Chain A
């Protein structure tokens, strides 16, 4: 048993009779480098650790966390969570995850074995290369506002007095670049990112080039006349749309009347060809893990099946409220927060076409390359969706005039019903959970321009 697992077990072991205790502990090694103009601008490294504890007693739950892992502090931590529980409202649905019948199978591919051997110098070189690749594509790239490489190597441990004890390790590496392109009076920004389990799977050249191309592509962009027209979401943009929709798929939001999908289980809510899956074990997806943030084994849930809403996503408490089992969808930001239900890896299945086939089918349409103001313009409670967009007008499926300063709007259910094609070019976007987007054709939305 590792030190971290022992720490979790010792916290859970502080449970008194008639209460249950859960301990979530993490130990991480993180690294970040940001370069500017061919030089390192900032470099940061750390090894943070901490513990978060829930105490459940008589249907009441309290939470506390600390970064001080000394024995005395750990006693106080459990005591504080116990005191907090006394001020919550009793709810018979509240409970910790039940003990495992057997340990959940491991998820492969969470760790890049080479990660620990990559030197800081190599990481710095990667960031410099990312900036160079962004800047060197075209003389109109005036600067690279930020070129960043980050990684993390984390151990996550969880133990409960109900009998759960688990530990897993995950490595993550990600990078992004932000290009500034200028031509005459026109200045535009282009953003691109990539994420993987380790630095070797990141491609500095490709990310830099894509950031530059995105900025260059918007140069000379203009508004287009207002009207209704077909819209194509780029994969990155489709992922953001799923990010908003995902919070409406959470069972707790439905139970509390805070979801546009409340009362629609079994209804045809999307185009007949559309199937959407949440899979906490999906290989290659950033949110994959053997068990969720309260220790429930992760699994696969079909939420939309051929256009019909078939299931919501649950943690233990929201599942008990409906007398069913958790779908393994508890998540937490860090040891500093109690678990809450959230999608894990949510994606729409491809309808089988390639990207070029989807574009061709779109004909004359707005290809959306970026949303602006999603967190304010999209509302998973009311279903309102009205956001700023940049992109290109497609003429006969071929990108033509660059478009900016327009907004696109449609009720979210209308967007879902209007999805005519989802290409096979899936990419993952971390956005609270992780969301898989692919080139997606929506039959019609309102475009507001000039």
Chain B
């Protein structure tokens, strides 16, 4: 990607006025995105980007500068900008650059070798399948996106790593309407891999499923408000773990004492059935990679072991402050961003309970089948999640769909009220936002019963 002489020269330039560590991040990215709406392929887009960022760390301070010019002059200017404000003695760059290598995520059909025609055709198939589900299907939009990213990270302490990442995602959104009622359905699988995603998730099947969801939700009655037991569907319910537990265990919030989980290692938060991991090495998963954006190999980190808090996620800076090796969770949206601590694929692992039994134990409650997303405050652990697809449970049976429901509560307390953990498991892919940066993440969990939580709805 860049020859070693130029890498070394850039790092040396960056440390010319002192600093503890200099790091170079180089990225080339190409992407295509197609979108079908109103039965027309309306957007066909592609892009090429190249850029490099230089980071100089001095004490607690990180200075960063980036450029789109991958030339000696462009890199030298970025190095000079990144060291601005320093006035110490010249730092040294390690004599040997040692390669670190992480897990690989195979690509069977490289997206750049698949023509745009095949991608457009997949969109049309999803559209036709969705529209064939009934006249109440009013609108379908489908999108396909692929990204190929090649990165190189080199640092003055002698580390060098490269990673090739290919990600593909396919999404279908359906709007259904009948008698003045409007409802939506959504499916959006993705993975780290190539165009073969569409063999695993057939576009027609995705279109049909999204349409059926929208049609079912047309029948929805207003959600009740109050405290209820809630059954979380496998997969989608994982966003709750991501928001309520994951963010508070990102070490940047821990070292700032801005997390409800700070200084509570070894404490019990949930039952023996609650084991939660973050696993950036899970082969082919949407949030996976080989090495993170600081060159640390992806790994599996246990956060809660049988209900007890045992781990956290870190990048280089927060790991150094905690005095722990970094966990490979330093991620950045692109060369234009500083790395920050992020989740990868976060899973509540399967437990001992039969999913059917979980439903039959509920007299009156809510079944949260799909969450629309959520938000959490790491300092307090308070969260809110909207439900895109939800049902009432009455006497152990799922009875009718409800709309306008959301779930509010507190992270640590939610682990406490997990009363059953199913033996099944599913994943859902998403994009997590933090500090203005987007990162692909996976949430996974089995069927889970929450004993009593606040459901917000329109019926008081």
Report A's interface with B, CB cutoff 8 A: 36, 39-50, 61-68, 73, 80, 83-89, 91, 120, 142-143, 145, 180, 187-189, 223, 226-228, 255-258, 260, 336-338, 372-379, 381-388, 404-411, 446-450
Contact = CB atoms under 8 A, between A and B. Distances in A.
Nearest to A43: B63
Q: Is the interface of B mostly helix, strand, loop or mixed?
A: strand
A39 B34 CA distance: 45
Contacts of A44: 63-66, 338
A375 B373 contact: yes
B184 A379 contact: yes
Contacts of B459: 446
Contacts of A142: 257
Contacts of B44: 61-63, 84-85, 87-88
Given A42-B63, A407-B225, A409-B404, 9 more contacts: A40-B61, A45-B84, A228-B460, A257-B139, A372-B384, A386-B458, A409-B406, A409-B457, A448-B226
B154 interface: no
A205 B253 CA distance: 25
Contacts of A410: 458
B258 interface: yes
B375 A187 contact: no
B350 interface: no
B432 interface: no
Contacts, number: 247
A13 B60 CA distance: 50
Interface residues of B, number: 80
Nearest to A335: B47
B399 interface: no
Nearest to A66: B48
Interface of B: 34, 37-51, 59-68, 81, 84-85, 116-117, 119-120, 138-139, 141, 175, 177, 182-184, 223, 225-227, 253, 256-258, 260, 336, 338, 371-375, 377, 379-380, 382-386, 388, 403-406, 408-410, 454-460
Contacts of A145: 253, 256, 258, 379
A449 to B, nearest CB: 8
Nearest to A80: B46
A120 B85 contact: yes
Contacts of A187: 260, 379-380
Contact of B226 (A63, A89, A226, A372): A226
Contact of A88 (B43, B256, B383): B43
19 contacts: A42-B61, A43-B85, A45-B81, A48-B51, A48-B66, A50-B68, A63-B44, A65-B48, A85-B44, A88-B43, A189-B379, A260-B182, A372-B383, A377-B386, A382-B183, A382-B403, A404-B382, A409-B406, A446-B457
Given A226-B460, A448-B460, A84 B84 contact: no
A50 B50 CA distance: 11
B457 A258 contact: no
Given A66-B49, A373-B375, A405-B382, A257 B175 contact: yes
A67 B49 contact: yes
A179 B43 CA distance: 42
Given A41-B60, A381-B184, A188 B379 contact: yes
A67 B404 contact: no
Contact of B47 (A65, A89, A256, A377): A65
Contact of B386 (A41, A66, A143, A373): A373
The 3 closest A-B pairs by CB, nearest first: A407-B456, A376-B386, A388-B384
Contacts of B182: 260, 381-383
B50 A407 contact: no
Nearest to A83: B116
B385 A373 contact: yes
